[in-house]
């Protein structure tokens, strides 16, 4: 085993402690990555509050309350296994929320490893084949199969690119699935880590983008990201005026909320895509019926889409707007994220872990 250092939460605490963590010795198809930058996703907060259970993981209940979060990072390959063909020491790579999958089921064969029938191995809180629990990217080193690492395009700043690997791909897949392009009208609900990248991607795809937010003073920022404007979700008259305006409402809101006002904004045959809150939300079928509306959801993305997203980001100069903090300030990042005090993503600089 190899030993590295990471930031661990125990029993739901956002006061993470520096701990030694073990990584496996390299298998022939593994690479070791020195983690340089890791984004702070709202899912990390959910996982911490759930006592270490990663969002959606079927084996989450097996958690012991301890978690090293972090599932969107960039870094540098330090070592490659004997059978590795795509990377060598010194290469810059990006890693997201999935570090392995069965590779054999219909979803994996279709390049949708994110929906693997065996459930994809999550970057943290997942149960690896050897029985160990994965520990995430708030740490200095990670070991994974080369096929779940991506070459980081040289055009992208490695700190600002880290959030592409969760927030970015999570909004990219539904934008592509909905066929968003020139002439499309897209609304993005919730202007946080996911939401601000959704605005950038949708605008770069050629859509007319509107932000739906409860925070009035995000209007200027929304326009700077490429949106035409911002509708205040707390103002019924603004929502009434936008009735049935959007082909896609991409909902990134992190907390339970009422879907009816969002469905009213969807046009005939349009789609409400829920990627933010992944729990139970009541829906009245009548709100779908009137206008033949579609309700959908998705989780991160498969390998081909992730590679495409990075290529598109490099071509269009898209990265996250970040606030970079030394990793020792992880508690500050988590508590400020919790109260919505970030424009729009914290990224931890792991170099202080030596
Ligand atoms: P974030 O940066 O905290 O952004 C969430 C945004 O939602 C906030 O900026 C806020 O936007 C809005 N919001 C928060 N609480 C709200 C409330 N009570 N009512 C209405 N709006 C509220 O979070 P994030 O990192 O983007 O993550 C967003 C959600 O996506 C999280 O629940 C996360 O777990 C989930 N997620 C899902 C996937 C997936 O695979 N589907 C992947 C990653 C993350 P305004 O101030 O503009 O209103
Ligand atoms: Zn995430």
**346: CA distance to ligand 2 center in Å?**
12
Instruction: Report residue 119: phi and psi, to 5°.
Output: 70, 125
Handedness of CA 263, 267, 273, 276 (dihedral sign): negative
Nearest ligand, CA 166:
2
The alpha carbon dihedral of 298, 299, 304, 310 has a sign of positive
Please give the pLDDT value at position 65.
84
| CB of 166 shorter than 6 A to ligand 1 | yes
Q: What pLDDT digit, counting tens, does each position of 275-333 carry?
A: 999 999 999 999 999 999 999 999 999 999 999 999 999 999 999 999 999 999 999 99
Could you give the 3-state DSSP secondary structure of residue 157? coil
Using one digit for the tens of pLDDT, what is the confidence trace for 259-271? Answer: 999 999 999 999 9
What pTM was estimated for this model as a whole?
A: 0.97
Which pLDDT score is estimated for 58? 58
Instruction: Decide whether any atom of ligand 1 lies within 6 Å of the 191 Cβ.
Output: yes
Q: What is the pLDDT of residue 55?
A: 62
If you take atom 27 of ligand 1, which residue's CA is the nearest one?
A: 42
Closest among 161, 208, 194, 149 to 297, alpha carbons compared: 194
Q: How far apart are alpha carbons 297 and 305 in whole angstroms?
A: 16
Best mutation site among 168, 252, 302, 321 for ligand 1 pocket (most ligand atoms within 8 Å of CB): 252
- Three-class SS of residue 69? coil
- The contacts of residue 154 (CB under 8 Å, 6+ apart) are 92, 314
65 alpha carbon – ligand 1 mean position (Å): 23
Residues of the chain below pLDDT 50: 61-62
Q: What angle do CA 7, 10, 12 make, to 5 degrees?
A: 110
Q: How many other C-beta atoms lie within 10 A of the C-beta of residue 257?
A: 18
Name the residue among 189, 75, 192, 180 with its Cα closest to residue 123. 75
* pLDDT, averaged across the chain: 96
Choose the residue to mutate in 115, 165, 190 for probing ligand 1, maximizing ligand atoms within 8 Å of C-beta: 190
Ligand 1 neighbourhood includes 334 CB (under 6 angstroms):
no
253 touches ligand 1 (CB under 6 Å): yes
The answer to whether the CB of 185 is under 6 A from ligand 1 is no
Pocket test for ligand 1, best of 71, 163, 189, 253 (most atoms within 8 A of CB): 253
């Amino acid at each position: 085993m190899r030993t590295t250092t990471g930031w661990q939460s125990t029993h739901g605490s956002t006061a993470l402690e520096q701990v030694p963590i073990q990584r496996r010795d390299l298998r022939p198809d593994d690479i070791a990555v020195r983690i340089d930058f890791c984004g702070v996703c709202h899912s990390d907060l959910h996982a911490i509050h759930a006592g270490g259970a990663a969002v959606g993981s079927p084996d989450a209940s097996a958690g012991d309350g301890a978690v090293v979060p972090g599932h969107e990072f960039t870094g540098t390959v330090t070592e490659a296994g004997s059978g590795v063909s795509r990377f060598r020491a010194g290469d810059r790579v990006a890693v997201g929320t999935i570090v392995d999958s069965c590779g054999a089921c219909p979803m994996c064969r279709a390049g949708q490893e994110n929906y693997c029938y065996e459930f994809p191995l999550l970057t943290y809180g997942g149960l690896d084949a050897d029985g160990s629990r994965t520990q995430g990217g708030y740490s200095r080193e990670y070991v994974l199969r080369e096929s779940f690492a991506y070459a980081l395009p040289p055009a992208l700043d490695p700190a600002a690119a880290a959030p592409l690997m969760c927030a970015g791909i999570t909004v990219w897949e539904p934008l592509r699935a909905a066929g968003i392009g020139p002439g499309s009208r897209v609304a993005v609900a919730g202007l946080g880590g996911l939401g601000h990248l959704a605005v950038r991607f949708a605008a770069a795809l050629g859509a007319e983008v509107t932000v739906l937010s409860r925070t009035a003073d995000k209007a200027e920022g929304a326009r700077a990201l490429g949106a035409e404007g911002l509708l205040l979700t707390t103002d019924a008259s603004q929502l009434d005026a936008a009735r049935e305006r959007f082909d896609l409402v991409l909902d990134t809101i992190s907390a339970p909320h009422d879907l009816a006002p969002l469905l009213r904004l969807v046009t005939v045959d349009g789609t409400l895509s829920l990627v933010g809150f992944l729990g139970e939300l009541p829906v009245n079928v009548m709100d779908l019926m009137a206008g033949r509306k579609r309700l959908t959801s998705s989780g991160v993305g498969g390998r081909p889409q992730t590679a495409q997203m990075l290529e598109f980001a490099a071509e269009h100069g898209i990265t996250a707007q970040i606030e970079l903090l030394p990793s020792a300030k992880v508690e500050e990042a988590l508590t400020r994220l919790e109260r919505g005090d970030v424009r729009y993503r914290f990224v931890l600089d792991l170099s202080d872990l030596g």
